[in-house]
Structure 1
Amino acid sequence: MPPSLPLMLFAAGFGTRMRALTADRPKPLIPVGGRTLLDRALDLAREAGAGPIVVNTHYLGTQILDHLAGSEVRISDEADQILETGGGLRKALPLLGTAPVLTLNPDVVWTGGNPLLALARAWEPARMDALLLVKPRAGLPGRQGNADFTLDAEGRIARATGMEGHVYLGAQILRTEGLAAIPDQVFSLNKLWDRMIASGRAFALEWPGGWCDVGSPEGLAGAEALLS
């Protein structure tokens, strides 16, 4: 097994695309196949030996706190202001440490292996500042809109401008030192990615297994079908 890396789980969002399903609970606590999305993500983290594990909270965050009570999981509280992925990761750094960090979106269902282990095994710190897990845009179930990235022969990424290319799946390893240079308090990790892309140190790994985005009621139905 690769060396342990810290892990950030992004659980602070409002889950508005889930409509009524998130009126009284945060999206990470929606069950899929009889197990909450958050617990499914934590299963992957623990299987991969990730640690420490940090979860950020904002919308209905006390429910996530109660759900995780008594566990080893650390909480980065964004109750005062939701900070998006970049700002949220930067706030959590005192809990995560200075090593490269795994990040995982819990609103995804995976089959065919552990995406965090796949990333850790492919990580090459001498030439990478980021390694993102991706799939080809063509034929990806439930995907709306353009591709996110194109890949060169070595797996180095650039921004896609249309439907051709790959889609980011919500799991990655990245160095966090560059977060300190971003002046905004609330910002997306896209700002950090763009700096890494410009320096030629942002890469992608294609995921061969199953994947479903559970961001909407339709996605929830697709995830149940994938798991069955």
Structure 2
Amino acid sequence: MIETAFFYAAGLGTRMRPLTEDRPKPLIELAGKTLLEHAIDPARAAGITKFATNIHYLADQIKEHPATRNFVIFDEREKLLETGGGLKAATAILGVAPLFTMNTDAVWKGENPFQKLDKHWEHSKMDALLLLVPTSKARGYSGKGDFELGGNGEIRRGNGFVYTGCQIIDPSGLSDFEDSVFSTNLYWDRLAQKGRLFGLVYDGLWCDVGKPDSIAIAENMLKEATDV
């Protein structure tokens, strides 16, 4: 089992206003616990032992929250580094071995996403394995998707599948980017050109919790039967 998980928690939460006026989005509550805990709990259940997160907006609230006790905290209050830049900076402490990254604005029900990714990870042929859901099954989401999925598991930009926010990624290639601020999307595009970007379909239930009205959608999803 890959031992490290990095949780993205430095976003500004603009789409979630007014709920984020006095708290960061990861600390919004849903079904009795914070979005951050919804992300962390399956990682702990999967046996992951090393945890890290980045902070920016209302950072002290996340830093002082019980859920992040014993976390490695990367403080981006002076400069928001985006997803790629934040992970690149984190490698100075976390190292460059493959690790999980997880967004903190989604809710899951079904197979543990970390365990599912770990079972299908093949570092010999992939540098990133993204967990996807078909757009037709994505809750709280109205876009056309992020990727197309090939028959061999390789993915490329397109429609049909949504990135869930959870992946295994080899961060060593991030050092090739000279900028300190950049999106992981740029790294994915490079990996896709090399045939090293793969996707895996999640068979459980998933909801994007990016806007206030998504909270009720997610809570109703969690009440559904466990057979999916």
TM category (shorter chain) comes to over 0.9
- Deviation per CA, 1:135-179, whole angstroms, max 9, x where unpaired? 11235332232221111111100111xxx4211010000111110
Partners of 1:184 and 1:4 in 2: CA distance: 28
Conserved? CA contact 2:131–2:199, under 8 Å: yes
Partner of 2:152: 154
Conserved? CA contact 1:104–1:170, under 8 Å: yes
Partner of 1:127: 125
Conserved? CA contact 1:54–1:75, under 8 Å: yes
Give the CA deviation at 1:97: 2.0
Partners of 1:4 and 1:181 in 2: CA distance: 23
Secondary structure of 2:61's match?
helix
Conserved? CA contact 1:132–1:168, under 8 Å: yes
Partner of 1:167: 162
Partner of 1:212: 207
Partner of 2:177: 182
Give the CA deviation at 1:104: 0.3
Instruction: Write the letter of the residue equivalent to 2:190.
Output: R
Partner of 1:16: 14
Aligned length: 223
Give the CA deviation at 1:220: 1.1
Unaligned 5+ runs, structure 2? 224-228
Secondary structure of 1:183's match?
coil
Partners of 1:202 and 1:177 in 2: CA distance: 14
Partners of 1:36 and 1:130 in 2: CA distance: 28
Conserved? CA contact 1:54–1:95, under 8 Å: no
Give the CA deviation at 1:73: 1.3
Partner of 1:226: 221
Give the CA deviation at 1:70: 7.7
Conserved? CA contact 1:15–1:26, under 8 Å: yes
Partners of 2:81 and 2:109 in 1: CA distance: 30
Secondary structure of 2:213's match?
helix
Unaligned 5+ runs, structure 1? none
Conserved? CA contact 1:58–1:82, under 8 Å: yes
Secondary structure of 1:146's match?
coil
Partners of 2:139 and 2:108 in 1: CA distance: 13
Partners of 1:69 and 1:207 in 2: CA distance: 25
Conserved? CA contact 2:141–2:207, under 8 Å: no
In angstroms, what is the RMSD of aligned CA positions? 1.4
Conserved? CA contact 2:2–2:100, under 8 Å: no
Q: Percent identity?
A: 48
With the length of structure 1 as denominator, give the TM-score of the two structures: 0.94
Task: List structure 1 segments (4+ residues) > 3 angstroms apart after TM superposition.
Answer: none
Conserved? CA contact 1:7–1:96, under 8 Å: no
Instruction: Write the letter of the residue equivalent to 1:115.
Output: P
- Deviation per CA, 1:116-150, whole angstroms, max 9, x where unpaired? 11001110111111100001123533223222111
Partner of 1:31: 29
Partners of 2:139 and 2:68 in 1: CA distance: 37
Conserved? CA contact 2:128–2:197, under 8 Å: yes
Conserved? CA contact 2:2–2:99, under 8 Å: no
Pair 1:80 & 2:78 matched: yes
Give the CA deviation at 1:186: 1.0
